[in-house]
Chain A
């Protein structure tokens, strides 16, 4: 039983690397690659074969990261989310991670389903979905910077 927090932390970090790694792949690589690929007619290779696989691991890794983080907080879960003494830093990190998770499952994925043709959508709806998913993804990229800072800060950065 005393191994459990270490195991939760291990899973939290493994899944977190996959989640944020794929988030950075989308924002630092795929957006620019798609723009270039649309120019030479090779975009389908990305949208058909790469993006759906990346999105699958992205959204499930997000959920596993959050659940392992919640398990790691354990009885301190409420203290962290209510910024009680000694838990302010991890609380900010936990809130940012939670907002990002809700963004993934509540905004990015429903809009990506329209873009990828997994649900019916008109061209106009797809255009709107593309913009919404893009901004939500960029928001998560921005939020990931303070999120990781405060996760690290809990034990390594005195304030």
Chain B
């Protein structure tokens, strides 16, 4: 399995996916 961090755009996608996941985590924390 290739590491997404080996590719620049894979890295950007990892960052964007993490942003979406954390968005929902924080939304749950704030009761939104």
Cα–Cα, bound, A149→B6 (Å): 23
Residues from chain A with a CB closer than 8 A to the CB of B32 are: 159
State how many angstroms separate the Cβ of B4 from the closest Cβ of chain A: 9
- Partner-B contacts on A (CB < 8 A): 27-28, 31-32, 83, 88-89, 92, 135, 138-139, 141-146, 149-150, 153, 159
**Complex A-B: 26 CB contacts under 8 Å:** A27-B11, A83-B29, A88-B29, A89-B30, A92-B25, A92-B26, A135-B3, A138-B5, A138-B6, A138-B11, A141-B11, A141-B15, A142-B5, A142-B15, A142-B18, A143-B18, A145-B12, A145-B16, A145-B18, A146-B18, A146-B22, A149-B19, A149-B23, A150-B22, A153-B26, A159-B23
B 6-21 contacts with A by CB, 8 A: 6, 8, 11-12, 14-16, 18-19
State how many angstroms separate the Cβ of A21 from the closest Cβ of chain B: 16
Residues from chain B with a CB closer than 8 A to the CB of A145 are: 12, 15-16, 18-19
State how many angstroms separate the Cβ of B6 from the closest Cβ of chain A: 8
Cα–Cα, bound, A141→B30 (Å): 27
State how many angstroms separate the Cβ of A86 from the closest Cβ of chain B: 9
